[in-house]
Every structure is written in C-alpha cells, then in structure tokens.
Amino acid sequence: MRFTFFEDFLSLVFPKTCCVCKRSLFVFENQLCKVCIGSLPITNYHQRPQNNELSLKILGLTKPNLVISFLQFTKKGTSQKLLHQLKYRNKPEIGVELGRIYGHILSEWGFGSHWDYIIPVPLHPIKLKRRGYNQSEQFALGLSEILGVPISRSLQRDQFTDTQTQKSRMERLENVANVFSVRYFDEIKGKRILLVDDVMTTGATLTSCANSLLMAGAGTVDLAVIAAGK
C-alpha cells in the first residue's frame, strides 16, 4: 500500500510523460501514450516484405530476403523525434518500447516463427562507451521479448567509422565495406537471422552486415529497422 502511495506521490511530482506529445502517461502506458501510438507513421512494409521501397533500395547490394521498416522517416516528424531521443537524449527505453509495439504487429502477421536469432547492428566499443547503450540492441530487446526469438551477439564491429551523414552513397558503401565480422560461426550457420538497426538511409551499413553474415554461412538474413526514409 505504502509503495503504491509513494509511486502516486512520485508521479504527481515527476509525472511520466509521453515522449512525443509530452502529456502525462497513465500507469499502464510506457514511453508513448495510446493516442501517439495510434498515430505512428507505420509503413506496413511487413505486408509486402519482399517488394517495398526498402527492398528495392538494397537490391544488388546484398541478397535481400525480407526487408521491413516499422516507421516512415520524415524530417521533423514523429519518427525523427523518437530516434533523436533514443540516440542522443539517453532514452534507451524508447527503443525497447518501439521494439515491443512492432513485435506485436509482426506477431499478428505470423512472423514469430520466421527467425532463429535477432542480431542488432553492433556499435564500435568506443561509441558504445560514449552513449552507454546500443540503440539498435534496445529495439532488438523489445522485438525479442514479444516474438520470443533470442538475440545473438555473433556480429562485431572491427573498425571505427566516422559519421556517415556527410558522405555520398558510394563513399558510405566503401566506408563500411569491411567493418563487420562474425565471431560465433556455429551459432549462425544455416540460421534464419533478423538483422536490426535504428535507421536505413542508403542501406550501406545493413548490407555490409548482411553480407558478412551470409558469407559466414547464415541461411537467410532479413532486415528490420525502426525507421526509413524514401
């Protein structure tokens, strides 16, 4: 009883607010309010995972199987707001919650049995230390929780790359060509992998990871991101 009282007291002094609209959250809400969840810019790529803007974008770069994005990325839109807080405002919980919401959608569409492992795109240890968490791994944690698919950490980042934002498409592809390697071959051999990242812009990072996994013997590699732009 006293614990509940204390929690109520805390929520009066420091109310938990929705990370999109800033309204106070109910106790059963987590990070986002129901209204904002209902108006998320969902892509519905999971309804045509082999034929959408993203799968076409990486055609020729890797052997794409299923390519999906939870949200449509728009500048100054909800997805940018969420990603900004996830990456730069020390809000790893947003990634987990988005993973859970997407996990429920994918589960409804029967994706639960599609994968043996979920693999987040790794951050370089230096960057990981600086941020304190890997945002892609947070998203993977939420997906894993709902879909019941374990996370594998068999992919590692060997080199530190500069920020990709000022680079051309070709430069980005070259920049990450040999950045990733596989450390637990037995774990991924013949397996169906869901590789996840926070955003896809040119697809350079994801295709580099996917190719490393395929070369190391993975059966199939599907790609999922929190948000992707056109």
Q: Which residues bind Zn ion (CB under 5 A)?
A: 18, 20-21, 33, 36
Q: Is the dihedral of CA 157, 139, 193, 214 positive or negative?
A: negative
- The CB-of-78 to Zn ion minimum distance in angstroms stands at 9
- The CB-of-33 to Zn ion minimum distance in angstroms stands at 3
Q: Which tokens is 202 given?
A: 């040119």
CB atoms under 10 Å from CB of 117, counted, come to 21
18 vs 223 by CB, closer to Zn ion: 18
- The CB-of-188 to Zn ion minimum distance in angstroms stands at 38
Residue with tokens 């070369």: 215
Cα three-residue angle 142-152-46, rounded to 5 degrees: 50
Task: Identify the CA nearest to 143 among candidates 151, 133, 154, 132.
Answer: 151
36 vs 176 by CB, closer to Zn ion: 36
21 vs 59 by CB, closer to Zn ion: 21
- The CB-of-85 to Zn ion minimum distance in angstroms stands at 13
Q: Is the dihedral of CA 7, 9, 13, 18 positive or negative?
A: positive
- The CB-of-29 to Zn ion minimum distance in angstroms stands at 9
Task: Identify the CA nearest to 201 among candidates 179, 177, 226.
Answer: 226
40 vs 204 by CB, closer to Zn ion: 40
55 vs 85 by CB, closer to Zn ion: 85
